């Protein structure tokens, strides 16, 4: 995987001092970062193999400041990379050398909480976990729970349409967002959606969620909050064969049973995570499912009974229920630390494909075949219930040939996902990492439909450019003379 970065535009770099002065006039004090060593903190994200130091970083505190910053950048033709916490796994937040990084992290206040309507309006720089923290005392929570939820911002969640372990039941970010306030590249402040079920006209929330910071900068988010279930209980199911686990998942979903989460780990992942979290995972199995049910005691019992029956039909070897809140916390700590724990024992690239759940058994076998074909190891740990795979292909970063092999293996895995009717990202986004793989999934005609939207809302392609689309994706020339006209 070789990622080409566009050459920084000399014309923009030449204006650096004037741009900095302009930004300082908008955000006074320490909100504009110019020193090289401080700018370095913004040079990459969680896809750390690529880095570019941005021209300048600005940290606004109000929507009005964001508007003024974007007006300035639009007028001067300066690329803008909006950034939440920088936890993107696909390079979505990696800047470029002629870009202004617009960091949203200072805008982290709760603006309004409405328990009766089950909504909450927050500034977009608030972290995912802080939203739930704010309403936990009343028994509410915000559902999507990416593993990085302690750090990642709701702005980043909106940009990537983030998921998480509990999205099987509650849906991803798109299903839990009711309204957005965003700023266009022209500095216009736009409100879309609101606190109700639907919105007339085009579904701009649907369009904005997952658009990876390319269509506008989101400054406020109205989220749906949900009441915590009466109880919740994760249960571990261990199997001797990965096919048995895959078929169990397919049959649970096929039977219309929707637990809160169905997470999958293979032997490699179990060993790594157990060593880190001491969660009580069974070590003598080839595959493990963490299935969480919730509700009243009677509801949990009823659902578990059906799940156990299906797992038994597929020769489940170990069934282990959490017996306490401490055990539950350890089980989830193990799962949510999987990427970090794997990083302790090997370098890896984390893939993020989705497949129809019915194809799970054959895709698991296919991943195994692909990785072994390159002489590598893989730890599979992922959201099995909704078909969102995260194979971690391990390699030695000090062996360049092995790194290339790992990258090829990763691409083969994503191609396999697309082949069986799935797609090449589930929740991490396209970013720069999968930009060129978009052609595996889309024709030029398909891509043109998407780039038309980008051109309509950002004619100069200034917002997070060089992401999502192959650099040579088809585009139409944007109107150079926008003019108001009545129908």
Site for a second copy in 93-132 (CB under 8 A): 114-119
Does the footprint of a second copy cover residue 340 (CB under 8 A)?
A: no
Binding map of a second copy across residues 239-278, x = CB under 8 A, - = no contact: -----------x--xxxx----------------------
Choose one: 60-68, 103-111, 308-316, 451-459; the region binding a second copy (CB under 8 A). Answer: 451-459
Choose one: 72-80, 237-245, 276-284, 354-362; the region binding a second copy (CB under 8 A).
354-362
Among 457, 462, 463, 464, binds a second copy (CB under 8 A): 457
Q: Does 40 bind a second copy (CB under 8 A)?
A: no
Contacts to a second copy from residues 314-333, by CB under 8 A: none
Q: Total number of residues binding a second copy (CB under 8 A)? A: 112
77 is an interface residue for a second copy by CB under 8 A: no
Q: Which of 17, 38, 191, 419 binds a second copy (CB under 8 A)?
A: 191
Binder of a second copy out of 20, 189, 275, 329 (CB under 8 A): 189
SS3 409: helix
> Which of 311, 429, 436, 463 is in the footprint of a second copy by CB under 8 A?
429
CA atoms within 13 A on the CB side of 50: 21
**What part of residues 280-309 is at the interface with a second copy (CB under 8 A)?**
295-296, 298-299, 301-303, 306
- The reply to whether 198 sits near a second copy by the rule CB under 8 A is yes
From the CB of 417, what's the least distance to a second copy, in Å? 8
Rounded least distance, CB 37 to a second copy, Å: 32
Q: Residue 232 in 3-state DSSP?
A: strand
| Residue keyed to tokens 């606190």 | 195
Using CB under 8 A as the binding rule, whether residue 194 contacts a second copy is answered as yes
Which one of 13-21, 98-106, 331-339, 433-441 is the stretch in contact with a second copy (CB under 8 A)? 433-441
Between the CA of residue 147 and those of 160, 211, 330, 338, 339, what are the distances in Å?
A: 14, 21, 14, 9, 9
Considering the complex, state which of residue 202 and residue 398 has its C-beta at the smaller distance from a second copy: 202
- Confirm or reject binding of residue 473 to a second copy (CB under 8 A): yes
Binder to a second copy among 59, 218, 229, 432 (CB under 8 A)? Answer: 229
Closest by CA to 58, choosing from 19, 119, 100, is 100
Smallest CA-to-CA distance from 252 within 281, 222, 293, 211 is with 293
What DSSP string describes 127-172? BHHHHHHHHGGGTEE-----TTTTT-BHHHHHHHT---TTHHHH--
DSSP for 278-343, written as a single string: -----SS-SEEEEEEEEESHHHHHHHHHHHHHHHHHTT--EEEE--SHHHHHHHHHHHHTHHHHHH
Residue 288 CA: distances (Å) to CA of 57, 341, 417: 44, 17, 21
Q: Which two tokens stand for residue 470?
A: 């192959």
Of 388, 411, 390, 408, nearest to 400 by C-alpha is 408
* Strand partners of residue 231: 295
Tell me: does residue 203 bind a second copy (CB under 8 A).
yes
**DSSP assignment, residue 226?**
E
- Out of 195, 304, 318, 329, the only residue in the binding site for a second copy (CB under 8 A) is 195
Out of 409, 427, 462, 463, the residue judged to bind a second copy by CB under 8 A: 427
């Amino acid at each position: 995987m070789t990622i080409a970065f566009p050459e920084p535009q000399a014309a923009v770099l030449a204006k650096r001092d004037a741009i900095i002065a302009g930004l300082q006039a908008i955000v006074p004090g320490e909100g504009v970062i110019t020193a090289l060593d401080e700018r370095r903190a913004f040079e990459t994200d969680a896809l750390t193999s690529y880095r570019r130091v941005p021209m300048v970083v600005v940290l606004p505190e109000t929507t009005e400041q964001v508007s003024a910053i974007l007006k300035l950048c639009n007028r001067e033709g300066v690329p803008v990379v909006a950034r939440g916490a920088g936890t993107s796994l696909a390079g979505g937040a990696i800047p470029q050398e002629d870009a202004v990084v617009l960091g949203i992290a200072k805008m982290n206040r709760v603006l309004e909480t409405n328990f009766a309507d089950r909504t909450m309006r927050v500034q977009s720089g608030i972290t995912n976990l802080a939203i739930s923290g704010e309403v936990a005392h009343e028994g509410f929570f915000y559902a999507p729970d990416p593993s990085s939820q302690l750090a990642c911002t709701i702005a980043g969640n909106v940009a990537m349409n983030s998921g998480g372990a509990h999205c099987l039941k509650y849906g991803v970010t798109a299903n839990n967002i009711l309204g957005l306030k965003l700023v266009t590249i022209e500095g216009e402040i736009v409100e879309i959606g609101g606190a109700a079920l639907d919105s007339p006209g085009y579904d701009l929330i649907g369009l904005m969620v997952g658009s990876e910071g390319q269509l506008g900068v989101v400054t406020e988010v109205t989220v749906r909050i949900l009441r915590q279930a009466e109880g919740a209980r994760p249960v571990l199911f261990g199997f001797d064969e990965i096919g048995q686990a895959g078929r169990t998942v397919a049959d649970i979903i096929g039977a219309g049973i929707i637990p809160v989460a169905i997470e999958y780990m293979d032997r490699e992942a179990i060993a790594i995570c157990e060593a880190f979290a001491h969660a009580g995972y069974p070590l003598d199995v080839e595959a493990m499912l963490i299935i969480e049910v919730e509700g009243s005691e009677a509801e949990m019992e009823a659902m578990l009974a059906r799940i156990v029956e299906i797992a038994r039909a597929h020769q489940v070897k170990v069934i282990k229920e959490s017996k306490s809140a401490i055990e539950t916390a350890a089980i989830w700590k193990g799962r949510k630390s999987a990427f970090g724990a794997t990083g302790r024992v090997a370098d890896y690239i984390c893939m993020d494909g989705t497949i129809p759940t019915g194809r799970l058994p054959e895709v698991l076998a296919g991943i195994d075949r692909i990785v072994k074909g390159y002489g590598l190891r893989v730890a599979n740990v992922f959201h099995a219930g909704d078909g969102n795979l995260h194979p971690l292909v391990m390699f030695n970063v000090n062996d360049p040939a092995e790194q290339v092999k790992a990258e090829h293996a990763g691409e083969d895995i994503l191609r396999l996902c697309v082949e069986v009717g799935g797609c090449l990202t589930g929740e991490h986004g396209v970013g720069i990492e999968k930009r060129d793989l978009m052609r595996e999934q889309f024709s030029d005609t398909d891509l043109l439909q998407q780039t038309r939207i980008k051109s309509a809302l950002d004619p100069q392609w200034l917002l997070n450019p060089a992401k999502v689309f192959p650099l040579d994706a088809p585009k139409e020339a944007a109107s150079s003379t926008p003019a108001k006209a009545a129908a």
